[in-house]
């Protein structure tokens, strides 16, 4: 179970919530328990319906937990849970335990040591997005060169190239079964691809009137949400292959969209500075989040437990929002993000959680989710790192893509492994057919070409015509 799903890694919600909000969300066992305590929110097991609990029970439960998101109270809650769970064990071996063994454990700061393992070359222009498949076996990358490439996440081997778009590809998404890839392009179309064959589905999804900039599958794989420069958010029925709902979401281009883990909600963001939460069944806007600085929001992601939204903004900040209460819980700083639409992800390092993002200075930055401390900064790309993703499961791998046209895989290693060259760290480059037993540092599939300033969100539109010819996204206006 991920640490994002416990109070040790996720801030607790604050304040009392009006009971009317309960009517907005589905209260079935399949829905995300957005009004429960962080402990319940973090549990991947279906939560019990609130109909079976009295308000007094809920009130007493909440009073027994942290009333705000402070680290001290989160620590207290975490230690209390540990003590209660281990009480029987402690009593059994109390005669063999020292007095120090009874003291609560001290929170250990997150320690990461990511090193570059693979360099995957092949794209001829900048890489806009990179995504691990849900099963962790594959990596997909998309580029302004109008192609999508699939790589083996274990060996770094190039598997196939998907071609068919008439302009640069800005966004990709994996289906939950890891067998289908959706791609959005500057040619205003959305295409679906068979991963195993590399062949596209018969007809693209048409409807957007400008660049398609962000995509996300629903957890069941039956719906797709898309965001576009036409300022709209579309919900697609993939079984019927038709547009299900059009949401007039924003007053500026939509930079990011995402589904919550149970599929009942969608979030979207825009350079108008707003992040919005939508009911997928009704299309109703349930919440609008806006920071007092009103910085353009370029990317949004739900937390793994569905309780928070991570928003990337052009003021070099990443904010963690409690969308139920409408409050910003954490702000992560230390990277550079003033001009480009950058992406990042949640990850797990040992027992603790982290947030990782690219940076315009070429670095990849890691933060401790709880403390907001920057725990590591690594470099390798030449130029802007546009997107970073984390591998599902326990492997801890991270993949990045940037304007230099390369895809890079990073692994978390200890100092002993670094010294001995284990896991491909400090290994000599070998050919693309290398396996995990023959570690490699660089995989060359094709020769790279000129870089492209993909996903640029500058404040002027002077280079619009030139960028359209180069199949790269149109710059955004700033309010």
Q: Cα(272)–Cα(286) distance, rounded to whole angstroms?
A: 18
Q: Which DSSP category does 369 fall into?
A: T
Q: What is the pLDDT of residue 450?
A: 32
Distance CA 409, CA 105 (A): 34
384 to 28, 143, 243, 360, 407: CA distances (angstroms): 44, 14, 35, 4, 12
Residue 147: per-residue pLDDT: 97
Q: Which residue in 389, 403, 404, 387 sits closest to 342, CA to CA? A: 387
Place of tokens 């910003």: 328
Low-confidence residues in the chain, pLDDT < 50: 1-99, 419-424, 426-479
3-state secondary structure of 472: coil
Q: List the structure tokens of 54.
A: 């009295």
Q: What is the number of residues in the chain? A: 479
pLDDT tens digits, one per residue of 102-119? 666 677 788 999 999 999
In whole angstroms, what is the distance from residue 380 CA to residue 358 CA? 11
Determine contact, residues 303/282, Cβ cutoff 8 Å.
no
**pLDDT on residue 477:** 39
What is the Cα–Cα distance from 461 to 455, expressed in whole angstroms?
13
Question: For the whole model, what pTM was predicted?
Answer: 0.70
The pLDDT of residue 89: 44
181 DSSP assignment: E
End-to-end CA distance of the chain: 42
What local confidence, expressed as pLDDT, does residue 369 receive? 94
Q: What are φ and ψ of residue 365, in 5° steps?
A: -115, 135
Distances (CA, A) of 94 to 83, 88, 121: 13, 10, 58
Radius of gyration of the chain (CA): 23
CA–CA separation, 476 and 255 (whole Å): 10
How wide is the angle at C-alpha 144 spanned by C-alphas 319 and 155, nearest 5°?
Answer: 80
Interatomic CA distance for residues 378 and 341, integer angstroms: 19
Q: Tell me which residue of 5, 4, 17 sits closest to 47, measured CA to CA.
A: 5
> Residue 104: what are its φ and ψ, rounded to 5°?
-65, 145
Q: What is the DSSP letter of 105?
A: P
- Residue 165 φ then ψ, to 5°: -70, 150
Backbone angles phi, psi at 355, to 5 degrees: -120, 140
CA-closest candidate to residue 34, choices 357, 260, 283? 260
Tokens 């700083």, residue located: 333
Instruction: Write the DSSP string, 223-286.
Output: EEEEEETTS-EEEEETTTTEEEEEE---SS-EEEEEE-TTSSEEEEEETTS-EEEEETTT--EE
Angle at 16 (CA atoms; ends 14, 19), nearest 5 degrees: 135
Per-residue pLDDT at 104: 64
**Rounded CA separation 78/1 (Å):** 15
DSSP string, 414-441: -HHHHHHTGGGTTPPP--TT--TTS--S
Asked whether the beta carbons of 354 and 348 are under 8 A apart, the reply is yes
Residue 251: CB atoms within 10 Å: 12
């Amino acid at each position: 179970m991920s640490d994002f799903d416990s109070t040790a890694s996720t801030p607790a919600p604050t304040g009392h919530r009006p009971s009317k909000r309960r009517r907005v969300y589905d209260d079935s066992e399949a829905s995300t328990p957005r009004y429960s305590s962080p402990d319940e929110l973090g549990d991947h097991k279906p939560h019990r319906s609130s109909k079976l609990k009295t308000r007094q029970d809920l009130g007493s439960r909440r009073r027994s937990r942290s009333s705000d998101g402070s680290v001290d109270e989160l620590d207290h809650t975490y230690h209390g849970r540990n003590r209660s769970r281990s009480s029987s064990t402690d009593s059994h071996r109390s005669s063999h335990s020292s007095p120090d063994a009874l003291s609560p454990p001290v929170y250990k700061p997150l320690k990461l040591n990511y090193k570059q393992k693979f360099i995957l070359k092949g794209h001829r222009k900048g890489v806009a997005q990179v995504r691990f498949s849900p099963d962790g076996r594959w990596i997909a990358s998309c580029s302004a060169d109008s192609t999508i490439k699939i790589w083996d996440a274990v060996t770094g081997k190039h598997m196939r190239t998907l071609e068919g778009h008439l302009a640069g590809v800005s966004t990709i998404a994996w289906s939950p079964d890891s067998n289908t890839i959706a791609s959005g392009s500057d040619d205003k179309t959305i295409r679906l691809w068979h991963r195993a064959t590399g062949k596209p589905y018969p007809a693209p999804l048409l409807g957007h009137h400008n660049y398609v900039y962000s995509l996300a599958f629903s957890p069941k794989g039956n719906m797709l949400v898309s965001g576009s420069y036409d300022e709209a958010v579309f919900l697609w029925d993939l079984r019927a292959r038709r547009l299900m709902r059009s949401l007039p979401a924003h007053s500026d281009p939509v930079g990011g969209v995402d589904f919550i883990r149970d599929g009942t909600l969608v979030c979207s963001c825009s350079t108008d500075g707003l992040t919005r939460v939508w009911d997928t069944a009704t299309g109703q806007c349930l919440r609008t989040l806006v920071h007092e600085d009103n910085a353009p929001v370029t990317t949004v992601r739900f937390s793994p437990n569905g309780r928070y939204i991570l928003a990337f903004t052009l003021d070099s900040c990443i904010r963690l929002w409690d969308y139920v209460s409408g409050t910003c819980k954490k702000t992560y700083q230390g990277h550079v993000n003033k001009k480009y639409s950058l992406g990042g992800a949640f990850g797990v390092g040992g027992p603790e959680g982290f947030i990782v993002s690219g940076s315009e200075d070429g670095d990849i930055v890691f933060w401790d989710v709880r403390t907001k401390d920057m725990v590591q900064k690594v470099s390798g790309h030449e130029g802007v790192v546009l997107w970073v993703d984390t591998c599902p499961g326990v492997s801890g791998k991270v993949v990045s893509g940037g304007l230099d046209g390369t895809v890079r895989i990073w692994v978390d290693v200890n100092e002993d492994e670094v010294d001995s060259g284990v896991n491909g760290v400090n290994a000599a480059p070998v050919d693309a057919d290398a396996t995990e037993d023959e570690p490699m540092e660089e995989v060359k599939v094709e020769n790279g070409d000129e870089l492209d300033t993909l996903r640029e969100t500058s404040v002027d539109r002077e280079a619009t015509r030139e960028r359209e010819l180069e199949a790269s996204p149109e710059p955004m206006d700033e309010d």
